[in-house]
Each structure stands twice: as structure tokens, then as C-alpha cells.
């Protein structure tokens, strides 16, 4: 069992090659990923001791998902093996004005149907210092919701830091249902990762939206949201809000702001020509977790998290395959993309 544990579902992702549409595909590229699994793999790629908590079928497709986690060094000993199927999602890459398209086929997955009693939290969290999950986990059904609460309570009892990425997915549950459940989970959360829209729509908070462009972003609304969040849940230690501005299917702005309890910070913004944006939020989450665990000063922390998220956009697949030095180089200002030789 590892120092950082993440809890959630890992899925088989199937994507047509290049810019092909689903009906044009003669083959699918295979990736195994999911919000919390991605965070564990990203942290492991940063050299951290990370593990993943889930339930995965014992058949060969499940084994392939486990092997992908192991490949990146993630501890898989807390994974319960069994159940009928691995969740699947089909992803068609977007281009220009055409958005990427996701078809989910995740209902009835081994994790969604897992019995909460299959997870022995005393054992799973025995050597853990940080527990991470996202709003997707409790959204997967009654069992997964119970597992989320069980994990949070066990972490609280053991003094483990809990981070949560709100990660609202409209195809999994309604805003009302999500808001209700996430509000119940918030008292267990030490580090909140979210974006403005999620905070507003799930928690009913109000603020001027920061519209991210290359220059002159007005962060006052974000700062207000942080204040409201702290007022509602005073136990919150750190709040990070990622910011995205969509220029086209190929180009996005990406940035973030950070309330570390002592001050309010924002990172520089990036205009990104994207290769694959799936998992960039998870790379951002991994970045802030890494920065906090390694006690980066606040400004460096948020710059590192944003740089981690930015780099993910250039990487195929769900998983952020980045080294700490690369992220630091970008955070430190080298976005020139010069060949190193």
C-alpha cells in the first residue's frame, strides 16, 4: 500500500486513429484510464509512491488495466479483483470546430457494483498520508457512493489528508443529486480542486466568472468563490480552481488560481495547441498534490500544477507521462518547445 492512494474507476478507452470518426474506424487505439487512476499514474511518474483503490475484473481485459497501472509504477495491491466487466468509453478526437465526442459504456462495471464490504480500509490506508478521489466516484451508483463515504471517514479517522476534484459529469447524475452528495462529502475534504462553474452550479454560489485569455484575467470572482467555500467548510486547507477557455477544438487557454489559506495566487496562462485534452485536469490535480506534498511555496505550487496540466495536453492518452524536471522547466518559463540535443 502506498503513501498516496486514489479511489475510483479505471476504464478501457477506445479511440479511432487520428481524426477519424467512429463510423470510419477500422481499429481502436487502446488506453486504460479514469480520473483517479490518472492521478495515481501521474504522481507515480513524478516519482511518488502512489496506489490505486478499485475493483477490476479478473479476466484478461481487467488484467490489461492492472498491467497499465503497474507499468507506471502504481501499487495495485489495494485493487479487489472480480466482477463482470470493465467500464468502457469510446472517444473520438475533435478537430477545429468539431468537438471531441465521448460514448460511455460504463454501466454495470465491476467497481460500480462493488460491495463496500470488499474494501478493508484499515489495511488499504495503513501507510497512507494522502487520499484522493473525484466527484466521478460517488456518481457511479449507491455502492460507489457508500465506498466514497467509507474511504473519507476512514481517512478522517487516521488523519490522512483528503483531496477531492469536484469533476461533475452530467451524464452520470443530475446537478441536484451531485450537489446534494458532494455537499455531504465536503466536510471530509482538506484540499478542494474544482473550476468555477462546478462550484457555482453544485454549491449554489455566485461570483463574476473569470474569463481566461492570454492577458488580464479578472480573478476577483474566483477569490470570492474561495472565500465562500471557506466560510461554508472551514476545515478546507487549500482550494485550487482551474480555468479553461475554449478557442476551438484544437486550441484552449489554461490557467488556475490558488487559495492556500495564507494568500490568493494565480498562475500564468497558456494558449495550448492540444493533442489530447483528456486527463489534463487529472494532471493538474497530480501537480498540485505533488507541490503540496513537497512543500512548494504557493506561487511555485500553482505554477507547477498548471504546467503539469498544460503538458498533458501534448500527450496522447489519459495518462500524464511527465517528469518533474519537465514540468519545472515549463513552469519556470521555457515554453519554447526547443529540441533538446
Q: Give residues 304-323 in contact with its own copies (rule: CB under 8 A).
A: 307, 310-311, 313-317, 321
Minimum CB–partner distance for residue 29 and its own copies (Å): 5
User: Which residue in 73, 287, 60, 51 sits closest to 151, CA to CA?
Assistant: 51
Interacting residue with its own copies among 10, 14, 110, 239 (CB under 8 A) = 14
Paired with 251 in beta bridges are 273
User: Which residue in 271, 264, 308 sits closest to 287, CA to CA?
Assistant: 308
Q: Give the nearer residue to its own copies in terms of CB position, either 72 or 133.
A: 72
Minimum CB–partner distance for residue 256 and its own copies (Å): 15
Task: Decide if residue 273 touches its own copies (CB under 8 A).
Answer: yes
Contact in structure between 227 and 205 (CB atoms under 8 Å) = no
Neighbours of 72 (CB within 10 A): 18
* Torsional class of 96: left (φ above 0), alpha (ψ -120 to 50), beta (otherwise): left
User: Which residue in 235, 46, 78 sits closest to 151, CA to CA?
Assistant: 78
Task: Decide if residue 29 touches its own copies (CB under 8 A).
Answer: yes
Task: Decide if residue 64 touches its own copies (CB under 8 A).
Answer: yes
Task: Decide if residue 270 touches its own copies (CB under 8 A).
Answer: yes
Interacting residue with its own copies among 1, 3, 49, 73 (CB under 8 A) = 73
Element (H, E) at 195: strand 191-195
Q: Give the nearer residue to its own copies in terms of CB position, either 26 or 263.
A: 26
Q: Compute the CA torsion angle 136, 201, 218, 187 (nearest 10 deg).
A: -60
Contact in structure between 79 and 66 (CB atoms under 8 Å) = yes
Interacting residue with its own copies among 22, 149, 233, 264 (CB under 8 A) = 22
Site for its own copies in 89-118 (CB under 8 A): 90, 92, 94-105, 107-108
Interacting residue with its own copies among 1, 3, 28, 294 (CB under 8 A) = 28
Residue span 191-230 as binding mask against its own copies, x where in contact by CB under 8 A, dash where not: ----------------------------------------
Sign of CA dihedral 127, 129, 134, 139: positive
Minimum CB–partner distance for residue 252 and its own copies (Å): 8
Amino acid at each position: 500500500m502506498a503513501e498516496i492512494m486514489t479511489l475510483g474507476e479505471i476504464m478501457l478507452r477506445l479511440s479511432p486513429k487520428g481524426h477519424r470518426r467512429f463510423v470510419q474506424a477500422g481499429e481502436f487505439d487502446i488506453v486504460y484510464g479514469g480520473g483517479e487512476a490518472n492521478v495515481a499514474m501521474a504522481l507515480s511518474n513524478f516519482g511518488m509512491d502512489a496506489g490505486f483503490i478499485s475493483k477490476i475484473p479478473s479476466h484478461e481485459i481487467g488484467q490489461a488495466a492492472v498491467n497499465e497501472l503497474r507499468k507506471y509504477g502504481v501499487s495495485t495491491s489495494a485493487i479487489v479483483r472480480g466482477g463482470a466487466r470493465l467500464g468502457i468509453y469510446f472517444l473520438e478526437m475533435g478537430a477545429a470546430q468539431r468537438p471531441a465526442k465521448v460514448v460511455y459504456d460504463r454501466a454495470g462495471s465491476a467497481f460500480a457494483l462493488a460491495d463496500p464490504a470488499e474494501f478493508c480500509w484499515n489495511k488499504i490506508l495503513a501507510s497512507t498520508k494522502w487520499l484522493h478521489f473525484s466527484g466521478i466516484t460517488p456518481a457511479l451508483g449507491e455502492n460507489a457512493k457508500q465506498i466514497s463515504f467509507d474511504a473519507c471517514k476512514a481517512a478522517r479517522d487516521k488523519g490522512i489528508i483528503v483531496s477531492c476534484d469536484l469533476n461533475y459529469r452530467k451524464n452520470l447524475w443530475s446537478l441536484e443529486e451531485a450537489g446534494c452528495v458532494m455537499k455531504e462529502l465536503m466536510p471530509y475534504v482538506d484540499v478542494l480542486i474544482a473550476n468555477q462553474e462546478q462550484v457555482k452550479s453544485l454549491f449554489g454560489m455566485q461570483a463574476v466568472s473569470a474569463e481566461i485569455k492570454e492577458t488580464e484575467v479578472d480573478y476577483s470572482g474566483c477569490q470570492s468563490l474561495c472565500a465562500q467555500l471557506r466560510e461554508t467548510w472551514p476545515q478546507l486547507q487549500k482550494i485550487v480552481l482551474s480555468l479553461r477557455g475554449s478557442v476551438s477544438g484544437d486550441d484552449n487557454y489554461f490557467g488556475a488560481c490558488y487559495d492556500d489559506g495564507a494568500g490568493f495566487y494565480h498562475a500564468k496562462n497558456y494558449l495550448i495547441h492540444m493533442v489530447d485534452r483528456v486527463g489534463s485536469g487529472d494532471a493538474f490535480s497530480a501537480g498540485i498534490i505533488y507541490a503540496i506534498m513537497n512543500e512548494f511555496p504557493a506561487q511555485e505550487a500553482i505554477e507547477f500544477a498548471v504546467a503539469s496540466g498544460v503538458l498533458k495536453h501534448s500527450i496522447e492518452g489519459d495518462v500524464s507521462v511527465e517528469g518533474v524536471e519537465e514540468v519545472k522547466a515549463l513552469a519556470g518559463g521555457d515554453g519554447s518547445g526547443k529540441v533538446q540535443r
